[in-house]
Structure formats: C-alpha cells, structure tokens
Amino acid sequence: MERQARPHKPAAAKPRASRARSSVDPRPEAGAPAQPTSAASRKPDDWLSEIAPGTRTKLANLGIASAFDLVLHLPLRYEDETRLVSIHEAPHGQTVLVEGEIVHSEITYRPRRTLVCQIRDSVDSEAGKAGNRGLLHIRFLNFYGSQAKVLAKGVRLRLFGEIRDGFFGAEMVHPKYRVVREGEPLSAALTPVYPTTAGLSQAQLRKCIDRALATCDLTDTLSLSSVPGATVLQKLRLPDFAASVRVLHHPPPDAEPSAFAERSHPAWRRIKFDELLAQQLSMRLNHKRRRDMRAARLAPSRRMAPALLAALPFSLTAAQRKSLAEIIDDLCRPHPMQRLLQGDVGSGKTIVAALAALQAIESGYQVAVMAPTEILAEQHYRKFLLWLAPLGIKVAWLAGNLKKKERQLALAEIAEGTAALAVGTHALFQEHVVFVRLGLAIIDEQHRFGVHQRMALGSNANYAGGKPKLEPHRLMMSATPIPRTLAMTYMADLDVSLIDELPPGRQAIVTKLISEARRDEVIARVHEACRAGRQVYWVCPLIEESEKLQLQTALDTHRVLSQALPDIRVGLIHGRLASDEKAAAMQAFQGNEIQLLVATTVIEVGVDVPNASLMVIEHAERMGLSQLHQLRGRVGRGANPIVQSLCLLLYQKPLGELARERLKIIFENSDGFEIARHDLRLRGPGEFLGARQSGVPLLRFADIERDIDLLDAARDAAGQILEREPAIAERHLTRWLGDKQNYLRV
C-alpha cells in the first residue's frame, strides 16, 4: 500500500517490549561522524558515504553508519497484506486487510472536521449477507481535499488497519488504503515494516536496504569454517547468513506470518544466534585480555584479618565465608581480579570487602573504596575506620566538603602511601587521586556506575612506582541481583560471588500497602513506634521532573510532621544539604538523637541504622522496583527479635497498570532476586542495567529470556571458536560490532 493518510509516526514511538525499543536505538556512536571502521573488509561496499547528506543523517539517527548496517537493519514487524478477511469476521484489535466499496462519503464538522466513509464488505461471509454487519466506518481527521474527492461513493478500497468498535459499529481510524479494481491480486508476501525516523519513508529505506543486500559481502562468517561454527549451525538447524537476511527483508510468499512476527523463524534465529555469538566472543576476549594483564599477587592476610574477625561482635555466615574465600583466591593471582560480589540488601557485603582490603594492606598495597553517594561513602568511612584503625591502619576520607588544606593532606597521604585505604565518592576518585601502590579497588553498588566508570577508574587509579605497570584488582559490590540470563550476557566478563543468605536473626519485613487517604493512621503509627523507642524513616515522594519541587516537598513534609508530632525529634535529610549537614543528620539519626528522619531518596543505598524498624514511603507508586527494595532494606537490620520491622507503602489512586504491578510485586516478594527478575521483565535489559548510558552494546534482536537455548549454544560456540579458530572470531566480531569493539576493551 503506497498511500498512508495518517501523518507519519515513527515506529520508534511504539511502546512495545524493550526488544523493539532497543532495535531502533541509535547505538552509542550514532549521530557522530561516521568513524572509519578498523576492518578493511567493510570498506569496498561502503557506498553510504556517497548518498545525500540529508538521508545519511537520518540513517545515522537510526544507528546506520555503513552499508552493512543496512543489512542488519531488520524489520520491526511485518504487515500481512496477503489475505483479505471479511469485515464482520475480522478479529477486533488486530491489524487486518479488508476490501469493500464506498457506499457513503461525507465530511462532518462536529466535533471537528472529519472525513467519514462507509464501506460495504466485498468479501462474502454469512453475516455480511445478513444486512448491516458487513459495514465499516472509516474516519480521517487529517486529510487533504484531494483525498476527499478520491474517496467517493462507488470506489473500491483495500484497507489495512485495526478494526475497533466505534459509536456506529465497526470502524477504522486513519487506515492505510488503496483504491483497487475488482479482483486485483493481493501482495504475494508479508510486507516488512522497518524502524525509521521522521522524514525517512519505508520505501526509501527499503531501497537503501536492497542496494546493501546487493552490494555487501554477505559471506557467512561461520559456515566457512570446517569445525565449531558449522557444527553448531547444523545442530541448531540454522540457515546460512546471506539466506537469512534476504528472507527477513523479503519474506517468501509461503512464509508463516506468526514465525516472522514472533521471530521464531529459522532466519530470525540465525541472526539472533550470530548476535549472541558476537556478544559472547567479545565478552570472552575481554575476560582474556584481563587475564593477560598483570596485577600484584597479594598473600592471604595472616595477622590483620584474623584480628578483625576476632574483634567483630558476630561471626561470618557461611555464604560470606565462601565469597571471601573466592576473593582471597583471586587476589593471590598475578592478574587483576574483576569480581562482582552480589548479595541482597543487608547480606553483609561490607565486612567481606573489609577483609579483602586487609589482604592488600597486609601485603603492602593500598585500597580505594568508592561509593555512589556522599552519605554512603561517609558511612563506609566510619565502618572502615571502626574496623581498621585498631589495627594501626590509616584511613583517608575524601569528603566532598574538605577544605583545601585537608584535601591536600589527604591526597598527599594517599600519594605517599601513609594512608593504606581511602574512601570517597566515585566522582572524587576521578579527580587526580594518585596512589603510590594501589592494589585493590572496591566499588560499592556497582550497578549505579555502569561500564563507563569502570573504564574511568582503570585509567585514573594510577600506579606510580617505577615498576612495570600493575593493574589494581577490582571488587564490585551490588545489591541489585543480576538474573542468570543477564549475568551470562552483559556481565559475562565478570566473575561473580554470591552471598545468598542473610545474617541470622534478621527478620522478615512486613510490607503494607496503604492508600494516601489513610495518612493520619500512618502518622499515628509512626508516633507509636517512636514512643516505643524505635526509629523511623519517612521517605518523601520522588519528583523526577523537578528537583526544586522535590526539595520543597521534603521541607513541607518535615514541617507538617514536626507539627503533628511535637514530642518527637524529627530530622531532615535531602540531596541539597551540604555534605557536612548530611553527615550531621545521619550521625544524629545513628545516635538516636533523631527519632524520625524525613528523607528524600538519598537514603536509598547502603544506609545502615539497625534501630530503625519502620519505614514509610510516600507515593510508592512512582518508584522503581529496585528502588523500593533498596529503601525497604534500610529497616529490618536490628538484632532484636521482638521488634517487627515494617514498611508502609503509601500510594495515591488512581494507579496505572504498571504501577499497580510494581506494588503487587514488592508486596508479594522479599527476595531481591525474585524482584530483580520481575524488574528485568518489566523494564528490559537496557533500562535494568542502565546500559543505555554506559555504552554496553545492547542486544537488538535476541531476547535473552526467550532465546535461552541460542544463548547457551552461542556461549559454547564462542569458547570453541576462540580456542580453535580465532580468525573466525575476529571476522564475526568485525561484522557485528565493527568499531564498537572498543567499548568492550574495559
């Protein structure tokens, strides 16, 4: 169908699954001037640089920077214009092709100028014969005068669109249509619909793609090899690469529409496999590159760690011991550790990190401890000071508000090596902190940093010692559990340790959903808890659009609660406080001078005040799952078994579908992993990982949950190919990642 009356609407606006979103995402370098591709093999067919600059810019917006990118610009969906259905029998809510004659056509002016036509079905159906039921109303709100002329009584139309129940019965709004003669043949094959951008028509795109298909080198990167690649293709019954892309751009007449729509057709599976293979290869190469780097061998701590363990008021859980053993083992090796220490909120990651730090310190190396927020950094500083100072270790604190002199002193201590451990926010470490002997970097709540920062740390944490450059070992900590499929893909270059049990005596936190209308009851409950000697967090609503408004809300809430509860000591903490004010507020809460702490979401991560047993979260419906889980994890940390920790989620009606689902999930689940799995399902991997900003090439075609068999196969094949035929790995990576490979050289 050539004509489309509907004003152009880019496919990218479709709020569909994340897969569809990521497939139209401009990749990181899109929009930037086309960079020279390292591989010569992509050059000869690259006629893209010769086409009109306007078109080129539009293609660049779609992430298309080379002719070959067009080959991999695969349809977002397909339209089935191969079959006519009767108007009466057409399933409502589904896009269908119908045909009929215009029996009435008029322009109406109420409520606004609209072209309305009535179409009588020309496809026979029992109901169609029986009177009115084969009638369809079509409506155009935007139309040209010429269009109104064409759509006159007696004209036969073929219409493609979604039938809905309108006021007058079945109706289509702004359908695609074409004037046809009686008996005009239908399309022979499915029509691909591409992700596109404003001003670039499907027809233009199709032309470019066809040219790419005709000119680009589509040689299979895998089947050329006698072994691993070809074997896996046979085993999975996957077709040749060239055949696959051709089929996806030009489905054959006999194609099964659902196999194309659901991307289960072998051609789709082949492309998804190739994509997953490229990702697995690059992750493995990355891992290997790290293995080739050198790091200091750190002997297990014989003196300091046992001393700290002896001084602790608790003993480590089995899961903590196991994770620690894995870390100790890594640190003994001469190449840099890159380990993610995962454990649910409150599982006790910090002490494990501290014990790892002692291994570096006792071997004469320094340790950097980084946290995403000032509050969390400060809290780490206190903990490490408490644990390490008795062992004679000097801990430097790189607070944001240090006076110039103090700061210089701290930096000098780090540069000279008198400070064995330095704590600060990540931002602070990015500014010229020079270690004399950095052996270990500990990065808390790593999911907050993303991959870019992981890179930045590597280049910032200098190791000046006149010896060959040694990389620091790295320990990342995260309370956002990474579901297995994600770990296998986006995190495949990390080793993972898991603390899968909470310290004994921890209590389940009871979660309640309460409508905003019952706010008074909640305040009464807070009062009661404070009077019983417990402490309470009151988390103010997240107002993403305006930081100012967010601050105002916090101030208002503080005022209202202070007035409502005159006998309670109410404190306030928010992001706009100076860091010493924040620290003072946290300290006062820690010391029980403040009973009720009104807070913005600045307290989301890591804050640890065991006596706090009640948390109120306002407008919980606005918050993300992991945020709610993290916030809730601030309570339930006390050792007193009689105190029941409680999290009250206040919500405001009406609830959107997604918000309702999130609240249901957080209400029903306490296990961080389970919540993370739901979160991944709701948001898709890009959002979940924050990878969009961090530069990790996202999967465009494969769906790691649905295509788990391909993922497993790609993982195996990657290992074999790298071992036996590295040239194939190189060729495959060049095809799929081109110069994006640099992003993976973390």
> Residues in the site for ligand ADP, rule: CB under 6 A?
314, 316-317, 320, 343, 345-351, 479, 503, 606, 608, 610, 637
Least distance in angstroms from the C-beta of 450 to ligand ADP: 19
User: Across the beta sheet with 612-617, what order do the strands follow?
Assistant: 510-515, 646-651, 612-617, 535-539, 596-599, 570-573
CB neighbour list of residue 539: distance below 8 Å, 6 or more residues apart: 599, 600, 601, 603, 615, 616, 617, 618, 631
Q: Which is nearer to Mg ion, 606 or 697 (CB)?
A: 606
CB neighbour list of residue 321: distance below 8 Å, 6 or more residues apart: none
Residue 685: contacted member of ligand ADP, Mg ion, none (CB under 5 to 8 Å, by partner type): none
Decide: helix, strand or coil at residue 466: coil
Residue 348: contacted member of Mg ion, ligand ADP, none (CB under 5 to 8 Å, by partner type): ligand ADP
Q: Which is nearer to ligand ADP, 606 or 684 (CB)?
A: 606
Least distance in angstroms from the C-beta of 315 to ligand ADP: 6
Residue pair 440/471 in contact (Cβ under 8 Å)? The answer is: no
Least distance in angstroms from the C-beta of 584 to ligand ADP: 21
Residue 347: contacted member of Mg ion, ligand ADP, none (CB under 5 to 8 Å, by partner type): ligand ADP
Q: Which of 459, 392, 473, 401 is nearest to 429 (CA)?
A: 459
Residue 734: contacted member of Mg ion, ligand ADP, none (CB under 5 to 8 Å, by partner type): none
Least distance in angstroms from the C-beta of 391 to ligand ADP: 17
Least distance in angstroms from the C-beta of 630 to ligand ADP: 9
Q: How many CA atoms lie within 13 A of 593 on its CB side?
A: 8
Residue 168: contacted member of ligand ADP, Mg ion, none (CB under 5 to 8 Å, by partner type): none
Least distance in angstroms from the C-beta of 349 to Mg ion: 5
Least distance in angstroms from the C-beta of 320 to ligand ADP: 6
Least distance in angstroms from the C-beta of 343 to Mg ion: 9
Residue 343: contacted member of ligand ADP, Mg ion, none (CB under 5 to 8 Å, by partner type): ligand ADP
Q: Which of 210, 199, 577 is nearest to 375 (CA)?
A: 577
Q: Which is nearer to ligand ADP, 316 or 529 (CB)?
A: 316
Residue 503: contacted member of ligand ADP, Mg ion, none (CB under 5 to 8 Å, by partner type): ligand ADP
Least distance in angstroms from the C-beta of 445 to Mg ion: 7
Q: Which is nearer to Mg ion, 634 or 732 (CB)?
A: 634
Interaction site with Mg ion (CB under 5 A): 606
Least distance in angstroms from the C-beta of 612 to ligand ADP: 12
Q: Which is nearer to ligand ADP, 312 or 517 (CB)?
A: 312
Q: Which is nearer to ligand ADP, 74 or 499 (CB)?
A: 499
Residue 472: contacted member of Mg ion, ligand ADP, none (CB under 5 to 8 Å, by partner type): none
Residue 63: contacted member of Mg ion, ligand ADP, none (CB under 5 to 8 Å, by partner type): none
Q: Which is nearer to ligand ADP, 296 or 498 (CB)?
A: 498
| Residue tagged 């290992």 (tokens) | 719
Residue pair 268/258 in contact (Cβ under 8 Å)? The answer is: no
Q: Which is nearer to Mg ion, 379 or 694 (CB)?
A: 379
Q: Which is nearer to ligand ADP, 76 or 351 (CB)?
A: 351
Cis omega (within 30 of 0) for bond into 472: no
Residue type, 621: E
Residue pair 397/381 in contact (Cβ under 8 Å)? The answer is: yes
**Phi then psi for 50, rounded to 5 degrees?**
-90, -15
CA distances to 84, 138, 167 from 89, rounded to whole Å, are 11, 17, 18
Q: Which is nearer to Mg ion, 382 or 732 (CB)?
A: 382
Q: Which is nearer to ligand ADP, 335 or 506 (CB)?
A: 506
Least distance in angstroms from the C-beta of 458 to ligand ADP: 24
Residue 314: contacted member of Mg ion, ligand ADP, none (CB under 5 to 8 Å, by partner type): ligand ADP
Residue 626: contacted member of ligand ADP, Mg ion, none (CB under 5 to 8 Å, by partner type): none
Chain position whose Cβ is nearest to Mg ion: 606
Residue 290: contacted member of ligand ADP, Mg ion, none (CB under 5 to 8 Å, by partner type): none
Residue 632: contacted member of Mg ion, ligand ADP, none (CB under 5 to 8 Å, by partner type): none
Least distance in angstroms from the C-beta of 606 to Mg ion: 4
Q: What CA–CA distance (Å, rounded) separates 438 from 538?
A: 40
Decide: helix, strand or coil at residue 36: coil
Supply the DSSP string of 206-252, one letter for each residue: HHHHHHHHHHS----SSTTSSSHHHHHHHHHTPPPHHHHHHHHHS--
Q: Which is nearer to ligand ADP, 301 or 550 (CB)?
A: 301
Q: Which of 604, 616, 609 is nearest to 539 (CA)?
A: 616
Residue pair 42/710 in contact (Cβ under 8 Å)? The answer is: no
Q: Which is nearer to ligand ADP, 479 or 570 (CB)?
A: 479
Residue pair 389/420 in contact (Cβ under 8 Å)? The answer is: no
Q: Which of 72, 25, 36, 61 is nearest to 735 (CA)?
A: 72
Q: What CA–CA distance (Å, rounded) separates 568 from 527?
A: 8
Length of the chain, please? 746
Least distance in angstroms from the C-beta of 347 to ligand ADP: 4
CB neighbour list of residue 95: distance below 8 Å, 6 or more residues apart: 79, 80, 160, 161, 162
Residue pair 483/677 in contact (Cβ under 8 Å)? The answer is: yes
Chain position whose Cβ is nearest to ligand ADP: 348
| Residue tagged 């093999």 (tokens) | 41
